[in-house]
């Protein structure tokens, strides 16, 4: 009994000493090592709260030997953090570095324009890591404010739990405080379907389904864009016409696919979407200096149609890997603008199984700088093309479009070429055709003459997918730029990827002096196309011709017949 009385006090003293030895210390500092005072640090599991002193230091004691979650809330100029800390005895975690931060704010509204309370705001960094943003829900007035580190950040506003709304997402390079203004979350509808093998009908899981506005190609952010074990998916999309892209997971032997002009007016079930079995074509692109990274590699059919592919750029080793159905193809390679190289197109080859294609070599080019202007000043989005004089084959050049100032900064080969310079559709500037010798770097100004008449077309809803004998909706504009009436023939044709055309019709027309006429959502009913052209990228051309068939102007919209 006497022994037990003596042992009790000793044990209590021992345990107290052990508890006192379990502590956590550290210093909070900037990336440059300057201490940060006034940082509030809270440990879960009753670990307590401490505030850093003038030296940025903090101490927690006593603690337990365990794992704690630390909430780090600094003053407004620094981004908060959430981290896990393991305490084992006397623990010094060293220096905790905080990144400079600024506030991102805004106001969320619902479809009716009323403030949206309890929406959740996420911030995601360039590595796709969701950042710690405490108090990131909207208040009763729909307002939110979060502090995030400087740099490229994706800001996402999620609808309140239980509300079927389209979530908002934008990516910005944050250097100063940002107010996103009023963000309206549109009403959403469930759009569902099942992705299957087009031959066997078996479901394909793990397919990423990405949704875009069919006209602007602006992406929609989805909570769960991946097909389940039965190939099923459900997206939340607003009223409108949308584009869906189907991206099989890595290692899956199916080709990616695209579905144009998905009309959503309410809850929509798309049924089954078939993906074609595919082979994998792997290759390497190199230049005079070795492998070339970030080349855009396209797979084309023998008739020149570009196959729909995803993840088709070369990696740091110049390697690409593309999945397409078995067939006969050639490769078009466009190097990055700063490479100093021009592109190439390989010969055609039949591919029946997955294979490594012969290495593709790119050649160094020279700089060609053009300042392109027309009757109304700098020509934006003018297109420069080079053609082989002997064969007429197009040369793949880099930087062939003019910028907002009308400047083209292209990399081209040396030699004698037929050169075509075309203003953007709808421009009053006439095309230019010349033959030119390129011996070295050149810089020159080009002034395009004025057309007599202009035709301009734009797809009302983006690239449309129509049935045989279906209707295209286009926004059209016809203009006579002269002070006299122009008798002309208005010609409509369907152009196939091979270059062959199917004439739809010709309308004689007198275009009155200074005539300028626009139509929105004009319906163009097209005849059936040959079965061999179904599922391909087609163009509907509208041309203005003089009675003697001289071309005055032309424009086109793209579509697909399903």
pLDDT tens string 410-419? 999 999 999 9
What is the SS3 assignment for 378?
strand
Return the pLDDT at 3. Answer: 42
Return the pLDDT at 294. Answer: 97
Residue ranges of domains in the chain, CATH in brackets: 2-97 (2.60.40.10), 102-184 (2.60.40.10), 189-275 (2.60.40.10), 279-364 (2.60.40.10), 366-447 (2.60.40.1120), 453-561 (2.60.40.10)
| Three-state helix/strand/coil letters over 307-362 | CCCCCCECCCCCEEEEEECCEEEEEEEECCHHHCEECEECCCEEECCCEECCCEEC
pLDDT tens string 53-63? 999 999 999 99
Q: Residue 519 pLDDT more than 50?
A: yes
Residue indicated by tokens 């999309």: 237
Q: Between β-strands 290-291 and 360-361, what pairing exists: parallel, antiparallel or unpaired? A: unpaired
Q: Residue 334 pLDDT more than 70?
A: yes
Whether 386 and 344 have beta carbons less than 8 Å apart is answered as no
Number of other residues whose CB lies within 10 A of the CB of residue 524: 17
Report the distance separating Cα 216 and Cα 201, nearest Å.
33
Return the pLDDT at 21. Answer: 73
pLDDT tens string 443-496? 999 999 999 999 999 999 999 999 999 999 999 999 999 999 999 999 999 999
Q: Residue 18 pLDDT more than 50?
A: no
Mean pLDDT, residues 89-116 taken together:
96
pTM, two decimal places: 0.88
pLDDT tens string 229-262? 999 999 999 999 999 999 999 999 999 999 999 9
Confidence bin at 4 (pLDDT 50/70/90): very low
Q: Residue 507 pLDDT more than 80?
A: yes
Confidence bin at 76 (pLDDT 50/70/90): confident
Mean pLDDT, residues 423-429 taken together:
97
pLDDT tens string 336-384? 999 999 999 999 999 999 999 999 999 999 999 999 999 999 999 999 9
Q: Residue 215 pLDDT more than 70?
A: yes
Q: Residue 119 pLDDT more than 50?
A: yes
Q: Residue 10 pLDDT more than 50?
A: no
Edge-to-edge strands of the sheet including 151-158? 120-124, 151-158, 168-174
């Amino acid at each position: 009994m006497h022994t037990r009385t003596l042992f009790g006090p000793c044990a209590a003293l021992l345990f107290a000493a052990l508890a006192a030895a379990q502590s956590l210390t550290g210093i909070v500092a900037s990336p440059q090592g300057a201490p940060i005072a006034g940082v509030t640090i809270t440990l879960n599991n009753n670990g307590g709260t401490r505030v850093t002193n003038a030296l940025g230091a903090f101490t927690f004691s006593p603690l337990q030997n365990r794992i704690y979650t630390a909430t780090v809330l600094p003053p407004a100029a620094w981004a908060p953090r959430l981290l896990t800390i393991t305490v084992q005895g006397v623990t010094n975690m060293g220096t905790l570095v905080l990144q400079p931060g600024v506030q991102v704010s805004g106001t969320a509204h619902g479809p009716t324009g009323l403030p949206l309370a309890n929406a959740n705001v996420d911030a995601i960094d360039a590595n796709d890591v969701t950042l710690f943003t405490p108090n990131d829900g909207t208040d009763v007035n729909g307002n939110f404010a979060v502090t995030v580190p400087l740099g490229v950040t994706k800001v996402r506003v999620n609808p309140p739990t239980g509300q079927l709304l389209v979530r908002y997402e934008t990516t910005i390079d944050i250097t100063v405080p940002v107010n996103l203004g009023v963000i309206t979350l549109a009403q959403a509808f469930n759009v569902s379907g099942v992705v299957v093998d087009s031959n066997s009908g078996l479901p394909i899981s793990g397919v990423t389904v990405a949704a875009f506005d069919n006209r602007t190609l602006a992406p929609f952010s989805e909570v769960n864009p991946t097909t389940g074990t039965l190939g099923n998916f459900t997206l939340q999309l607003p009223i409108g016409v949308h584009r869906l892209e189907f991206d099989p997971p890595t290692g899956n032997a199916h080709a990616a696919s695209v579905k144009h002009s998905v009309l959503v007016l309410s809850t929509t079930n798309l049924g089954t979407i078939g993906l074609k079995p595919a082979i994998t074509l792997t290759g390497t692109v190199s230049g005079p200096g070795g492998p070339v990274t970030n080349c855009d590699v396209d797979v084309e059919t023998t008739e020149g149609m570009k196959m729909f592919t995803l993840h088709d750029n070369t990696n740091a080793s110049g390697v690409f890997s593309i999945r397409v159905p078995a067939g006969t193809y050639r490769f078009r390679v466009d190097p990055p603008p700063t490479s100093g190289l021009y592109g190439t197109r390989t010969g055609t080859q039949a591919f029946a199984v997955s294979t490594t294609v012969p290495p593709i070599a790119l050649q160094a080019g020279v700089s060609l700088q053009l300042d392109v202007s027309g009757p109304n000043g700098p020509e934006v989005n003018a297109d420069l093309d080079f053609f082989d004089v002997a064969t007429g084959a197009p040369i793949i050049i880099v930087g062939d479009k003019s910028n907002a100032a009308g400047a083209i900064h292209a990399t081209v080969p040396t030699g004698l070429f037929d050169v075509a310079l075309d203003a953007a559709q709808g421009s009053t500037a006439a095309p230019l055709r010349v033959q030119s010798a390129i011996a070295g770097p050149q810089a020159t100004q080009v002034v395009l003459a004025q057309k007599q008449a202009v035709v301009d077309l734009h797809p009302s809803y983006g690239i449309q997918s129509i049935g045989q004998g279906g209707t295209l909706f286009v926004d059209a504009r016809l203009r006579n730029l002269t002070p006299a009436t122009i008798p002309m023939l208005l010609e409509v044709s369907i152009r196939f990827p091979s270059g062959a055309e199917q004439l739809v019709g010709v309308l004689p027309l007198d275009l009155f002096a200074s005539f300028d006429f626009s139509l929105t959502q004009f319906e163009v009913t097209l005849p059936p196309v040959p079965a061999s052209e179904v599922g391909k990228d087609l163009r509907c051309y509208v041309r203005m011709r003089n009675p003697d068939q001289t071309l005055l102007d032309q424009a086109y919209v793209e579509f697909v017949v399903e």
